[in-house]
Amino acid sequence: GENVEQHPSTLSVQEGDSAVIKCTYSDSASNYFPWYKQELGKGPQLIIDIRSNVGEKKDQRIAVTLNKTAKHFSLHITETQPEDSAVYFCAASRNTGFQKLVFGTGTRLLVSP
């Protein structure tokens, strides 16, 4: 089955810096890769996703890149703000049938003012 690894487990940056979180997956048939932000005591919130037919997607300060050959994808946050502090999860799935997401282990991002 699919296995998703995520690094780093914790990431501390200064406000205004960029943050990069990386994930690798094992199932070459996976073709849907969402990223979720989870604040303490809340459910995950979808922040961006990418499908295997594109290599990069951007939404304001957030971007995701996908390298299908290497089976890895990354989340890039530019101009970080304290409110970006949260736990970020990557996930992967085959976009067929019942979409079962396999989650990474999470990255705790701390943005210091």
Partner 1 sequence: GAVVSQHPSRVICKSGTSVKIECRSLDFQATTMFWYRQFPKKSLMLMATSNEGSKATYEQGVEKDKFLINHASLTLSTLTVTSAHPEDSSFYICSAQLAYTTDTQYFGPGTRLTVL
Count of C-beta atoms within a 10 Å radius of residue 43: 7
Least distance between partner 1 and beta carbon 51 (Å): 10
Q: Which stretch binds partner 1 (CB under 8 A): 16-24, 40-48, 68-76, 78-86?
A: 40-48
Dig out the tokens for 102 from the structure.
């396999």
Least distance between partner 1 and beta carbon 65 (Å): 19
Nearer to partner 1 among residue 69 and residue 96 (C-beta):
96
Site membership for partner 1, residue 36 (CB under 8 A) = yes
DSSP string across 28-86: TT--EEEEEEE-TTS--EEEEEEETT-SEEEETTEEEEEETTTTEEEEEE-S--GGG-E
Binding site for partner 1 (CB under 8 A): 34, 36, 41-46, 49, 89, 95-101, 103-106
